Amino acid sequence: MLTNKIVKRYEKIDYDRVMEFINRVQKVETVNLPVIEQSILIKDENQVWGMVSFEEFEKIGVIRYFIYEQQVAPDLLVNMFFELYHSAKEKGVNQLVAVAPHPYVSQLFSLLGFIEGKKSIPVEIPGLVNSDDSQLMMIKL
């Protein structure tokens, strides 16, 4: 398990560690810096172990990055989301929305307080193999 881990809001000094983490865990071609700047991190003194962030659209926050190493303890994930909820509320967001691409992710979001929403149009997100199986999950803050 991890030692000396903390849950914290992103700061500019975290940039290099966050980029190392993203490239280590999930290869992405482009990174949206304003979204990264809204991140909540699980980290120790040497590296980032998990992160979640959102992008705001008229008082709705859309979760954009939610990635973590498998060895992260569940309580750290819960703490990371509680900090995300506080951060979003401080910015005037009153609802968070996420797309869960498979049942495991839907179950995890349910455990974090999200409920399944209805989607009225097909969800098309690059990288999701079968968007028909994805679920729209949301939580009111």
CATH number of the domain where residue 96 is located:
3.40.630.30
- For residue 1, pLDDT beyond 70: no
1 occurs within a structural domain: no
pLDDT at 13: 96
Q: pTM of this prediction?
A: 0.85
Could you tell me what percent of the chain has a pLDDT over 70? 87
User: What is the Cα–Cα distance from 7 to 30, expressed in whole angstroms?
Assistant: 25
User: What is the Cα–Cα distance from 111 to 105, expressed in whole angstroms?
Assistant: 10
pLDDT at 127: 47
65 occurs within a structural domain: yes
User: What is the Cα–Cα distance from 6 to 26, expressed in whole angstroms?
Assistant: 21
- For residue 16, pLDDT beyond 90: yes
Q: How many structural domains comprise the chain?
A: 1
Contact 10, 39 (CB under 8 A): yes
The residue-averaged pLDDT of 115-127 equals 61
The residue-averaged pLDDT of 122-136 equals 58
Q: Angle at the Cα of 65 (from 11 to 44), degrees rounded to 5?
A: 45
Burial class of residue 121 in the structure, from the number of CB atoms within 10 Å of its CB (0-12 exposed, 13-18 middle, 19+ buried)? exposed
Tell me the pLDDT tens digit for each residue of 67-83. 999 889 999 999 999 99
Q: Which domain holds residue 83?
A: 6-140
- For residue 84, pLDDT beyond 60: yes
